[in-house]
Amino acid sequence: MASSRTIKACLFDMDGLLINSEDIYTISLTKVLETYGKPPLTWDLKIKLQGRPGPSASKLVIEHYDLPLTPEELFAKTTAVQMDLWPTVKFLPGALELLQYLDTKKIPFALATSSHKLNYDRKTGHLQHGFDLFRHHIVTGDDSRIPPGKGKPFPDIWFAALESLNKERKQHGQDTIDITECLVFEDGVPGVEAGKASGAYVIWVPDERALKVLAGKEKEIIGENNEHGIILKSLEAFDKTMLGS
């Protein structure tokens, strides 16, 4: 359990956790599906897409809806719809406040998002008052530090984010942080699985619509007795005493 751990750093997902960009993905994909006479994206598939790298997510959608497209073609079509919507993205409740708190308390934190660099820039360009706090500790889905095919649910992206923090700590003569001393903040099932596989303690903030689809399976995913993580309704509910400050 987290109470038995010393927490020294926090690692964050982005889409659906810090910002409401998951809603944009749903809107844009549904619009593309309409052009092929397909029904809207529903949460039984959505929960499988959250946190996955773009090509992997596109492949699942194509197979599910039997679309006559390649992953690259689907990605291009949804991207075109998203371009006008990214500037409307906002921080989710408690997200900016938590980042500011960590920065004030000098608790190390990093970002690990499956979004590729170009999409990351599009989503966050108008939100730099929050994302600037990550400084250079940002790992995107197309980062060379993540081996090919090792996006979430594999834990590699979390290790890369922590290594970014540790590299800086070494330069300043500070002790390195172990992954078991980290909190991983996630909203999607693949990211939660990746966090658990890494050995970190997971703070899971699932969308309430995802919980309806999971219908109790979330307890099985996160693990019994809060051994591997806890489930919160929002980042506003996060107990900062877990950070020992």
Task: Give the 3-state secondary structure of residue 116.
Answer: coil
Q: At what angle do helices 71-82 and 117-124 cross, to 10 degrees?
A: 20
Residue type (1 letter), 76: A
In the annotation, is 13 catalytic? yes
Residue type (1 letter), 196: K
**Residue whose structure tokens are 């619509």:** 209
In the annotation, is 23 catalytic? no
Q: In what order do the strands lie in the sheet with 229-231?
A: 138-139, 109-112, 9-12, 182-186, 201-204, 229-231
Catalytic choice (13, 156, 187, 207)? 13
190: nearest Cα among 153, 157, 223: 153
Q: CA–CA separation, 225 vs 219, rounded Å? A: 9
Residues with catalytic roles: 13, 15
